[in-house]
Amino acid sequence: MAHLTLATVDAFTSKPFSGNPAAICLLEQAMPEAWMQSVAAEMNLSETAFLLAQAEGYGLRWFTPTSEVDLCGHATLGSAHFLWESGILSADQPALFHTRSGLLTAKRLPEEGSWIELDFPQKQVDPAEAPGDLEKILGAKPVFIGNNKMDFLVEVESEETVRNLKPDFAALAQIEARGVIVTARSGGEADIVSRCFFPRVGIDEDPVTGSAHCALGPYWAARLGKKELLAFQASKRGGWMRLQLVGDRIRLIGQAVTVTRGQLLHAER
């Protein structure tokens, strides 16, 4: 197999070295899962996305350094950005991705500069009992605890509480879920803030998590009485996205910037 194109894209940001970095690997043929997992471990980013052209669109799979996941927003945004920037797709073509979570689409919003709109499924949050001593693990008192079949969602009393969290990652890794989303209403420019912790799948704190907002969007829309929200994920790198709820879908709108582009030299199976 020839050398493969490999890029790093910072997603949900317009500035390099912020937002959430994703590795994007463009495949020429289907590759074994173990090989993709090895590449993701080598890249050691929150997600490595693997793209394979199909008759209509692209097959898309996402891997953390330790496991494959069912849904990822920032690496989908990064994949779409990569396809347009590389000229593989023309600027007016939507990006179609066939994934474990069904068909996901992305389109550019030229009237709004460099913004990209992802069409994702909403993930409704149901009230749930605290897994273990969650208050002690997070170091903060929950106002609400819910579950969306992927993650636990925890509302705390203030944005300051979210920003100051210093959770016990070893204890979080024992919770039987992909991870824990902690959120509060924002007192600043954004409507809501959050931080996302996924040590069980090899990511202590994810910088900006599109898939988490599939749950945060409907959760906060119901509380704030708004169908459009501005969200900020308050990790060290930080990232912004706009949320629009339409039926049972959610539009995640963000920006992206390519930071590196090169070749994967060892592309054998």
Domain ranges of the chain: 4-119+254-264, 126-246
Which of the 8 DSSP states describes residue 94?
P
- Look up tokens 């097959």; give the residue: 59
H/E segment holding residue 13:
none
Mean pLDDT of 164-190: 96
CATH number of 126-246: 3.10.310.10
CATH number of 4-119+254-264: 3.10.310.10
Determine how many CB atoms are found less than 10 A away from the CB of residue 70: 12
- The closest alpha carbon to 106, from 114, 97, 98, belongs to 97
Q: Is the pLDDT of residue 141 over 70?
A: yes
Mean pLDDT of 132-141: 96
DSSP β-bridge partners for residue 232: 193, 240
Q: How much is the pTM? A: 0.93
pLDDT in tens, 218-229: 999 999 999 999
Active site residues: 47
- The closest alpha carbon to 138, from 183, 168, 181, belongs to 168
Token duo for residue 234: 């308050």
Token duo for residue 240: 């912004």
Token duo for residue 257: 């910037």
- The closest alpha carbon to 120, from 151, 145, 99, belongs to 99
- Identity of the amino acid at 246: V
Report yes or no: 264 and 50 within 8 Å, Cβ to Cβ.
Answer: no
Sequence-distant contacts of 160-169: CB under 8 A, at least 24 apart: 162/193, 162/194, 162/195, 162/234, 163/193, 163/195, 163/234, 165/138, 165/139, 165/140, 165/195, 166/139, 167/137, 167/138, 167/139, 167/197, 168/136, 168/137, 168/139, 169/197, 169/199, 169/204
pLDDT in tens, 50-65: 999 999 999 999 999 9
- In the chain, what percentage of residues exceed pLDDT 70? 99
The span from the CA of 243 to the CA of 258, in Å, is 23
Mean pLDDT of 160-167: 98
The span from the CA of 182 to the CA of 53, in Å, is 36
What pLDDT shows up at residue 269?
63
What pLDDT shows up at residue 112?
73
